[in-house]
A and B are shown apart, each in its own frame.
Chain A
């Protein structure tokens, strides 16, 4: 089997799920003939037709709302936000309708909202956002954020088959930058709610997800060479529900934790993971928990500013040295 990119993995998951289940359909802006702003849906319009690969007006609220309605009567819509940033104008449909429908009415809402997120592409304040924490805070939604082609494919399949609204944050910086051979077998599903141990280690745990998994790998290599540190890396993969067991078991192994995410710091996923460890694993810690995240500012445009704003291997290394030498 040939290597495929993160982006191709998403396209494959969509194609295979649409072939498997005729209730699955796609809707979003420019996803049909044009194949999507990033070409994620390229070829699907030709294969499945305009009813199942539906071009829509610029109406994020209606895109998500229509998906909710279709899901209420048995369909399995996958809605695309052209950029995760634009989810703000469809916010109410997610938190008001999609998230509360099963609690109040007992009716499942099996929708997936794909949201290309993340910075490092000089997109400025409105094409770079990582808004996952807003949705993790809303009961009734599930949130996933894959970091590899295999997880991109397997988690999207799981999201489409899940009976709940799932937000699928795909990191657009990774789209064409990473490739891998996917596991054998046509239908590999990565379960929602399970973290992945990327790299075992003895001295410190980096708990992370999305694009920062790759920054953590780079940091771990440097720390190994320069400080002779054996760094463990845990990729959360799912942010709601969190894999509490995996988080606590990495803390138990290393007793030192740095949480890393590309989204900005305050009230981010890192705060929740730190609270989880504090509540359940305080006695296992040998140092305070550190967080590495983007600055609490809008994403700046000029490369020199964006680089200063984003978390990166250097910032991770500084934080690791602090918890090691505490």
Chain B
């Protein structure tokens, strides 16, 4: 069962709203830069799953570790990453976090305790468990949170990592972003169990199945799992059900997706949904919404200017940095 949402403070609610807007607006900018031919590599956006990624990122404390995957731009932002760093990374600039060596949002930031992913989704699960176990060995009350899709939940590392975490009671939270499609493959061709969260039983850990389009519900449930992990209760598995509202990547028109299902989820748009709730609760009105959005738009505008005028990497950097000193 999801945790009650009345524990979510007004301050957090407004932060969630701002971050959802920032995520969507930044991704829109990235798609525009891609269509203009300025971003050369793949673009994978999180439209439809933003509530999950933003709320999970925001539920972590500063000292906690985040292992996002390819659609989790929102989690990077929620953990404190700047729009500028994200654009520099996508544009492959020399002053980006990976100095042009990796693509998309495959980027780490040790000042924010974010470790970027590899494309083999699921391969990061044991690594994230390793961070969690090391922090426990170092006697620090630090939790590590990692995302995986319903698609990636079928690879062996999902099982090995989660079982390992359970056996060693690692302070670890695994969030399944079930967006119902793995590239073009629908969920019913990926697994046949009722809920992926039921797999938690097999590891002897708590499993939660929640609505991944409800930012407040996601925040409350993940917050609880994080605090349980911090208090020595071991790992949790949280399945957040949502819908990928775009193709696998920016080149894919998603012709294979069930249109009826898409319509159903349009009504559950995570951003508009939260906006409605906050208006009803009197936390937001037109004026405030405009102020929030204008501030973010301006930040994105400025970041875009700076990013596009930033230097490219020097070609010979390709040969450097394979080994540490």
Contacts and interface: CB of A to CB of B under 8 A. Distances in A.
B20 interface: no
Given A104-B102, A104-B106, A163 B324 contact: yes
Given A65-B127, A107-B108, A57 B118 contact: no
B130 A68 contact: yes
Contacts of B160: 57, 59, 61-62, 65
Interface in A95-143: 96-97, 100, 102-110, 139-140, 142
Contacts of B65: 73
B106 A107 contact: no
A51 interface: yes
Chain A contact residues (Cβ within 8 angstroms of B): what range? Answer: 35 or more
Tell me which of A75, A103, A163 has the highest count of chain B C-beta atoms within 10 A of its own C-beta. Answer: A103
A69 B322 contact: no
A26 to B, nearest CB: 12
Contacts of A100: 118
A65 B123 contact: yes
Interface stretch (B73-81, B131-139, B187-195, B257-265): B131-139
Given A61-B157, A97-B123, A103-B321, A73 B129 contact: no
Nearest to B164: A62
B31 to A, nearest CB: 24
Nearest to B320: A103
A151 B106 CA distance: 39
Interface in B38-62: none
A93 B127 CA distance: 9
Contacts of A92: 120, 123, 157
B131 A69 contact: yes
B128 interface: yes
A44 interface: no
B156 A61 contact: yes
A107 B322 CA distance: 11
A66 B322 contact: no
Nearest to B157: A61
A57 B134 CA distance: 17
Interface in A183-210: none
Interface string A64-81: 111111111111010000
A164 interface: yes
A53 to B, nearest CB: 12
Interface in B93-139: 97-98, 101-102, 106-108, 110, 115-116, 118, 120, 123-135, 137-138
Given A65-B160, A69-B126, A71-B130, 11 more contacts: A66-B130, A68-B126, A69-B128, A69-B131, A70-B130, A77-B130, A93-B126, A97-B127, A105-B97, A106-B321, A107-B110
Interface of B: 65, 97-98, 101-102, 106-108, 110, 115-116, 118, 120, 123-135, 137-138, 156-157, 160-161, 163-164, 167-168, 321-325
11 contacts: A59-B163, A61-B156, A72-B127, A73-B65, A73-B138, A97-B124, A104-B102, A104-B116, A105-B115, A106-B321, A110-B324
